């Protein structure tokens, strides 16, 4: 079967909405339910975070969700079981994102095979060095048909963006600012200039803008310069407060996608 991320980008090139949430948050078994509701509500990609004790690239919201999930007993093997369950009911592409250490303890090769078998379509491992990926894992990922998205940031040189684009598949993850996750406010002129620069690069892969996308306005603005965008912290902050996940997730996704 064709990789769902690849199929999605063939069909759709505008306003792609990718939602990130932490596995096992707010409840250990909510991972499955949230994926189902996201599909019904109209998200395009589901990104599930593998909880880690030391998430250095994340701001307070995602850090706290990691801690809640780990305290509840969330683990990587359990997440793979949950992905299997999700895959029985959900057709959207699933991307697993996490820090390298839990994946390394599971065994990177084993994880690649098991993630694919569970029904995942892509991986994001922000602290995996690109040369190590190229040397050790690129071949097995291609063989099983999993996409790998690497990050670029406003301080990444054009030469390096080209290299990262050539090693990525599915999409390139364009971090919107030199920041950890969960920044608020609107984009400044430097960020807009960076988005324009990226759009002009004509990368091999489509790119999704992430970090700092938190409402209709920032989502719409990011989508003016890129095929789509990723929302994480704002979604998790909503989950944290929600008394009715079904209703609140629908409201959240609808409010992002509404046309004015």
Tell me the C-alpha distance between 97 and 60, whole Å.
17
Residues 197 to 256 in contact with other proteins, rule: CB under 8 A? none
For residue 54, the Cα-to-chain-centroid distance in whole angstroms is 18
The answer to the question of residue 132 lying near other proteins (CB under 8 A) is: yes
If one asks whether residue 107 binds other proteins (CB under 8 A), the answer comes out as no
- Assess whether 114 carries a catalytic annotation: no
106 binds other proteins (CB under 8 A): yes
Least distance to other proteins, CB of residue 197, Å: 16
Distance (Å, whole) CA 159 – CA 238: 38
Stretch that binds other proteins, among 30-38, 139-147, 173-181, 200-208 (CB under 8 A): 173-181
Size of the site for other proteins (CB under 8 A): 40
Radius of gyration of the chain (CA): 17
Stretch that binds other proteins, among 153-161, 199-207, 215-223, 244-252 (CB under 8 A): 153-161
Cβ of residue 213: shortest distance to other proteins, in angstroms? 16
54 CB burial (10 A radius; 0-12, 13-18, 19+): exposed
> Which member of 12, 13, 56, 193 binds other proteins (CB under 8 A)?
56
Q: Least Å distance between CB 135 and other proteins?
A: 11
Residue from 104, 117, 190, 217 binding other proteins (CB under 8 A): 104
Catalytic entry in 39, 40, 44, 47: 47
In this chain, which stretch among 41-49, 63-71, 112-120, 249-257 interacts with other proteins, using CB under 8 A?
Answer: 63-71
For residue 248, indicate whether it is catalytic.
Answer: no
Sites of contact with other proteins (CB under 8 A): 52-57, 59-60, 63, 67, 70, 75-77, 99-106, 126-129, 132, 150-153, 155-157, 160, 164, 175, 178-180
């Amino acid at each position: 079967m064709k990789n769902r991320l690849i199929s999605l980008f063939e069909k759709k090139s505008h306003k792609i909405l990718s939602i990130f949430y932490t596995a096992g948050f707010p409840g250990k078994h909510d991972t499955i339910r949230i994926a189902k509701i996201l599909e019904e509500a109209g998200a395009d990609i589901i990104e599930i975070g593998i909880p880690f004790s030391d998430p250095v690239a994340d701001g307070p919201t995602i850090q706290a969700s990691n801690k809640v999930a780990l305290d509840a007993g969330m683990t990587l093997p359990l997440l793979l079981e949950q992905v299997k369950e999700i895959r029985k009911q959900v057709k959207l592409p699933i991307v697993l994102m996490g820090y390298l250490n839990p994946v390394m303890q599971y065994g990177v090769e084993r994880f690649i095979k098991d993630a694919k078998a569970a029904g995942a379509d892509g991986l994001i491992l922000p602290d995996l060095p690109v040369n190590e990926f190229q040397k050790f894992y690129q071949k097995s990922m291609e063989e099983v048909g999993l996409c790998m998205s690497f990050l670029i940031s406003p301080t990444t040189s054009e030469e390096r963006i080209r290299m990262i684009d050539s090693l990525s598949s599915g999409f390139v993850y364009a971090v919107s600012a030199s920041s950890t996750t969960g920044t608020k406010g609107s984009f400044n002129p430097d960020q807009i200039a960076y988005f324009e620069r990226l759009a002009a690069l004509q990368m091999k892969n489509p790119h999704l803008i992430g970090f700092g996308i938190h409402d209709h306005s920032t989502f719409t603005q990011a989508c003016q310069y890129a095929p789509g965008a990723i929302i994480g912290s704002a979604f998790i902050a909503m989950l944290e407060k929600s008394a009715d996940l079904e209703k609140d997730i629908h409201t959240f996704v609808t409010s992002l996608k509404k046309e004015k």
